[in-house]
């Protein structure tokens, strides 16, 4: 079954991709999309305004995609396909790199292992929910890669995962397998539980910023001892001895890899004092904070952050929703960018992630970033923070064909994505989405009717297992991030 077919020039949006999804019926559809990954073909996106995010804007430009990668980008007159190339005529359209969210909690069955203050052993990739409808909604907003972070309940949270939003593909294909390993740290009110008190759950250490620092120091120290134990073991083996190996401890293994620089630290933080504390603490152990997350007071200590070499992934303009957020300013991105810090904007929200480009646009207003600097906040810079800038984040030859086609300039509130592709495969097509709605509505109606006609088939069962509760970031902050949280169940 040929599912994805891009017509030549005329009827260019009539790709029967989603229609096939619907036609394949039932949940088998989820897997039959596998057939749509036709990466071997050439696709030409023709005659668009291309915002490359790395080397300026190309008017009347074309992009040639081969085997899922960008094979050529330039003026339309210079970039041509061959005879069999599928052509997408994008006259009047704008093309941007797929957006990269450096701080997301989308498509996860649990977010916080909130029981302990150090949970370096848990891994987000164990709990990815590849059927979360938010994946599709964010694709519709041009998002293509997300950094799935552990929550901020603990001073040291879990190991994060990075996925591409290949809606309909199984989780093992979504995971960016060659991405670096990262871990979540958290400072301030959330790990010390200032705003959340859960009935039935005992309060725990730490309850102050001092305690948070001590918690991290203790974990580093234990990680160092663990490394030492294994080094001693290896040394003994080299001497020809045969000692009992030390017990493998998944938590301390992760801490040891943090100390070895094999796992990047991404730390949730707000206040200037705690930011500087973490930079100094890491320097004491000979390591670097890779990315500061949220960083609301980053503008106050931008020279210190720059000197340390950390990057900053920020909330664009949220403030005053809790005590530690009172000193936030929307000029944060611009101030830090001008200090030479690699800055990205993140969503931290299923809702903001659907209109991520608008968040970037605000940063032209606050602090006079250039258009390309603003675009990089949601494309190339987060790619750098995820160490994936060789693969994604800009429209350059050799990079993954993760692209968004807008019907207008992405920084206009009147614009919207028409199509989103990842590695040359279309995962969102607005026209097809609209066309499929009627069919989906009919399918639903038919199923409801079928149940009505079915003779008394209700089979009472014992209640199923309840969902495993997950501590959300809203719970910790004592406020809602954007819209009220929706039930993750579809």
What part of residues 353-392 is at the interface with other proteins (CB under 8 A)?
none
- Residue number, 124 or 139, with CB nearest to other proteins: 124
Q: Helix, strand or coil for residue 489?
A: coil
For residues 342 and 264, give the distance between their C-alpha atoms in angstroms, rounded to a whole number.
Answer: 15
Buried b or exposed e, range 392-405, using 16+ CB within 10 angstroms = bbbbbeebbbbbbb
For residues 45 and 59, give the distance between their C-alpha atoms in angstroms, rounded to a whole number.
Answer: 13
Show the tokens assigned to 279. 């930079």
For residues 346 and 104, the answer to whether their CB atoms sit within 8 Å is yes
- In the region spanning residues 412 to 451, those forming contacts with other proteins, defined by CB under 8 A, are 440, 443-444, 447-448, 450-451
Q: Does 27 bind other proteins (CB under 8 A)?
A: yes
- Residue number, 59 or 225, with CB nearest to other proteins: 225
User: What is the sign of the dihedral through the CA atoms of 330, 332, 334 and 335?
Assistant: positive
Q: How far apart are the first and last CA of the chain?
A: 27
Q: Does 24 bind other proteins (CB under 8 A)?
A: no
Q: Does 215 bind other proteins (CB under 8 A)?
A: yes
- Residue number, 220 or 357, with CB nearest to other proteins: 220
- Residue number, 263 or 310, with CB nearest to other proteins: 263
Q: Does 21 bind other proteins (CB under 8 A)?
A: no
Q: What are phi and psi of 221, to 5 degrees?
A: -60, -45
Q: Residue 258: CA atoms inside 13 Å, Cβ hemisphere, count?
A: 35
Q: Does 74 bind other proteins (CB under 8 A)?
A: no
For residues 389 and 32, give the distance between their C-alpha atoms in angstroms, rounded to a whole number.
Answer: 31
| Longest pairwise C-alpha distance within the chain | 78
Q: What is the DSSP letter of 327?
A: T
User: What is the sign of the dihedral through the CA atoms of 47, 50, 56 and 59?
Assistant: positive
Show the tokens assigned to 84. 């069999």
- Residue number, 217 or 288, with CB nearest to other proteins: 217
Q: Does 257 bind other proteins (CB under 8 A)?
A: no
Which of these segments, 21-29, 322-330, 381-389, 410-418, binds other proteins (CB under 8 A)?
Answer: 21-29
- In the region spanning residues 33 to 52, those forming contacts with other proteins, defined by CB under 8 A, are none
Q: Does 177 bind other proteins (CB under 8 A)?
A: no
For residues 19 and 37, give the distance between their C-alpha atoms in angstroms, rounded to a whole number.
Answer: 16
Select the residue interacting with other proteins from 116, 227, 364, 435 (CB under 8 A). Answer: 116
Q: Does 168 bind other proteins (CB under 8 A)?
A: no
- Smallest gap from residue 113 Cβ to other proteins (A): 4
Q: Does 464 bind other proteins (CB under 8 A)?
A: yes
- Residue number, 114 or 393, with CB nearest to other proteins: 114
Please count the residues of this chain forming the interface with other proteins, following the rule CB under 8 A. Answer: 82
Q: Does 203 bind other proteins (CB under 8 A)?
A: yes
From the centroid of its chain, how far is CA 463? 34
- Residue number, 78 or 234, with CB nearest to other proteins: 234
Q: Does 462 bind other proteins (CB under 8 A)?
A: yes
Looking at the DSSP bridge assignments, the partners of residue 66 are 42, 69
For residues 341 and 333, the answer to whether their CB atoms sit within 8 Å is no
Q: Does 123 bind other proteins (CB under 8 A)?
A: yes
For residues 87 and 46, give the distance between their C-alpha atoms in angstroms, rounded to a whole number.
Answer: 7
Select the residue interacting with other proteins from 249, 273, 317, 371 (CB under 8 A). Answer: 249
Select the residue interacting with other proteins from 17, 61, 87, 113 (CB under 8 A). Answer: 113
Select the residue interacting with other proteins from 41, 42, 173, 218 (CB under 8 A). Answer: 218
Calculate the alpha carbon distances from 385 to 3, 292, 354, 356 in Å.
35, 10, 21, 17
- Smallest gap from residue 469 Cβ to other proteins (A): 6
Q: Does 205 bind other proteins (CB under 8 A)?
A: yes
- Residue number, 330 or 478, with CB nearest to other proteins: 478
- Residue number, 27 or 320, with CB nearest to other proteins: 27
Q: Does 247 bind other proteins (CB under 8 A)?
A: yes
- Residue number, 75 or 444, with CB nearest to other proteins: 444
Q: Does 348 bind other proteins (CB under 8 A)?
A: no
């Amino acid at each position: 079954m040929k599912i994805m077919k891009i017509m030549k020039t005329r009827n260019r949006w009539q790709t029967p991709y989603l229609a096939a999804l619907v036609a394949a019926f039932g949940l088998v559809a989820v897997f039959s999309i596998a057939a749509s990954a036709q990466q071997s073909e050439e696709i030409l996106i023709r005659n668009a305004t291309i915002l490359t995010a790395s080397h300026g804007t190309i008017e009347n430009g074309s992009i040639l995609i081969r085997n899922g990668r960008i094979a050529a980008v330039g003026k339309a007159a210079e970039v041509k396909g061959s005879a069999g190339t599928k052509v997408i005529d994008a006259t009047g359209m704008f093309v941007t790199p797929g957006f990269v969210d450096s701080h997301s909690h989308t498509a996860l069955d649990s977010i916080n292992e909130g029981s302990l203050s150090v949970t370096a052993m848990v891994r987000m990739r164990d709990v990815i929910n590849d059927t979360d409808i938010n994946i599709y909604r964010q694709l519709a907003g041009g998002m293509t890669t997300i950094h799935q972070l552990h929550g901020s309940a603990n001073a040291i949270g879990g190991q994060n995962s990075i996925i591409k939003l290949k809606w309909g593909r199984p989780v093992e294909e979504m995971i960016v397998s060659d991405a670096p390993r990262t871990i979540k740290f958290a400072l301030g009110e959330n790990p010390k539980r200032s705003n959340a008190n859960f009935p039935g759950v005992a309060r725990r250490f730490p309850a102050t910023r001092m305690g948070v620092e001590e918690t991290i120091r203790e974990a580093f120290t234990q990680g160092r001892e663990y490394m030492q134990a294994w080094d001693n073991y290896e040394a003994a083996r080299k001497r020809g001895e045969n000692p009992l190996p030390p017990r493998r401890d998944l938590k301390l293994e992760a801490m040891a890899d943090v100390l070895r620089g094999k796992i990047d630290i991404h730390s949730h933080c707000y206040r200037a004092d705690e930011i500087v504390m973490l930079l100094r603490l890491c320097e004491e152990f000979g390591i670097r904070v890779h990315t500061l997350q949220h960083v609301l007071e980053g503008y106050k200590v931008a020279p210190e952050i720059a000197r340390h070499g950390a990057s900053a992934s920020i909330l664009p303009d949220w403030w005053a929703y809790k005590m530690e957020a009172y000193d936030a300013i929307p000029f944060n991105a611009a101030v830090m960018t001008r200090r030479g810090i690699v800055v990205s904007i993140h969503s931290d929200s299923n809702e903001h992630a659907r209109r991520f480009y608008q968040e970037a646009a605000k940063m032209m207003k606050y602090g006079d970033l250039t258009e390309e600097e603003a675009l990089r906040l949601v494309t190339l810079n987060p790619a750098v923070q995820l160490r994936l800038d060789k693969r994604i984040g800009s429209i350059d030859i050799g990079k993954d064909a993760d692209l968004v086609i807008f019907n207008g300039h992405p920084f206009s509130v009147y614009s919207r994505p028409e199509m989103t592709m990842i590695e040359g495969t279309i995962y969102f097509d607005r026209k097809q989405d609209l066309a499929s709605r009627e069919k989906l509505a009919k399918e639903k109606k038919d199923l409801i009717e079928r149940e009505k006609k079915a003779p008394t088939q209700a089979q009472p069962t014992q209640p199923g297992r309840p969902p495993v509760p997950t501590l959300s970031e809203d719970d910790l902050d004592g406020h809602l991030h954007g819209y009220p949280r929706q039930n993750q169940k579809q």
